[in-house]
């Protein structure tokens, strides 16, 4: 059984992970309007990863006899000036998610819930990867600038990203 405070905080994080999926699906839709199928593929995989993050929390709440309360999901942005702006937004979003996971970590520590801390450990590690993935592409886009050939090569590279099932504990 988890405390009510932690249950509320986990439900908020569940909602934010669903919002993350919404945001990346919105970015996928943005890239679907252009020929950048590699960017679209990257966003599609990212959105599915976010659904996994959300469902990990969903199942954990149930496992700990908590109540899942699905709140409305905020409307994400749907227009950006270019790919660089999209990845700037993605990177900033991931930094916000990391801050939220850290706040959740603080609550679990205050509640002295060791089982929950162990569960959240996976998310902390995942955030390092999440931030890095977005930041690397953002840096590449800054470097590429107006070079269309290099942009096309990056697009091809992003096409290789595939959906992998994560082992959320």
Residues at the interface with ligand OFO (CB under 6 A): 17, 20, 50, 53, 94, 97, 130
| Shortest distance in whole angstroms from residue 147 CB to ligand OFO | 28
Could you tell me if 14 and 58 are in contact, meaning their C-beta atoms sit under 8 angstroms apart?
yes
Burial of 137 (0-12, 13-18, 19+ CB in 10 A): buried
Q: Return the number of the residue (49 or 151) whose C-beta is nearest ligand OFO.
A: 49
| Shortest distance in whole angstroms from residue 97 CB to ligand OFO | 4
Q: How far apart are CA 38 and CA 44, in angstroms?
A: 10
| Shortest distance in whole angstroms from residue 4 CB to ligand OFO | 24
Q: Return the number of the residue (53 or 151) whose C-beta is nearest ligand OFO.
A: 53
Contact partners, residue 30, CB within 8 Å, separation at least 6 = 78, 79, 80, 86
Could you tell me if 7 and 67 are in contact, meaning their C-beta atoms sit under 8 angstroms apart?
yes
| Shortest distance in whole angstroms from residue 18 CB to ligand OFO | 10
| Shortest distance in whole angstroms from residue 107 CB to ligand OFO | 18
Q: How far apart are CA 152 and CA 2, in angstroms?
A: 49
| Residue in the shown chain whose Cβ atom is closest to ligand OFO | 20
Q: Return the number of the residue (55 or 152) whose C-beta is nearest ligand OFO.
A: 55
Assigned token pair, 20: 């993350």
Could you tell me if 84 and 141 are in contact, meaning their C-beta atoms sit under 8 angstroms apart?
yes
Could you tell me if 124 and 105 are in contact, meaning their C-beta atoms sit under 8 angstroms apart?
yes
Q: Return the number of the residue (113 or 126) whose C-beta is nearest ligand OFO.
A: 126
Q: Return the number of the residue (44 or 151) whose C-beta is nearest ligand OFO.
A: 44
């Amino acid at each position: 059984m988890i405390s009510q405070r932690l249950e509320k905080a986990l439900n908020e994080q569940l909602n934010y992970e669903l919002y993350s999926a919404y945001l990346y699906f919105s970015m996928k839709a943005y890239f679907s309007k252009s020929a950048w199928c590699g960017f679209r593929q990257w966003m599609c995989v990212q959105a599915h990863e976010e659904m996994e993050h959300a469902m990990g929390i969903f199942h954990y709440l149930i496992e700990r006899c908590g109540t899942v309360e699905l709140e409305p999901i905020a409307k994400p942005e749907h227009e950006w000036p270019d790919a660089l702006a999209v990845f700037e937004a993605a990177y900033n979003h991931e930094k916000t998610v990391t801050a939220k996971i850290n706040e959740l970590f603080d609550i679990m520590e205050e509640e002295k819930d060791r089982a929950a801390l162990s569960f959240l450990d996976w998310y902390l590690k995942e955030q390092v990867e999440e931030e890095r993935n977005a930041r690397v592409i953002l840096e590449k886009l800054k470097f590429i600038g107006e070079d269309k050939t290099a942009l096309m090569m990056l697009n091809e590279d992003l096409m290789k990203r595939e959906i992998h099932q994560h082992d959320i504990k």
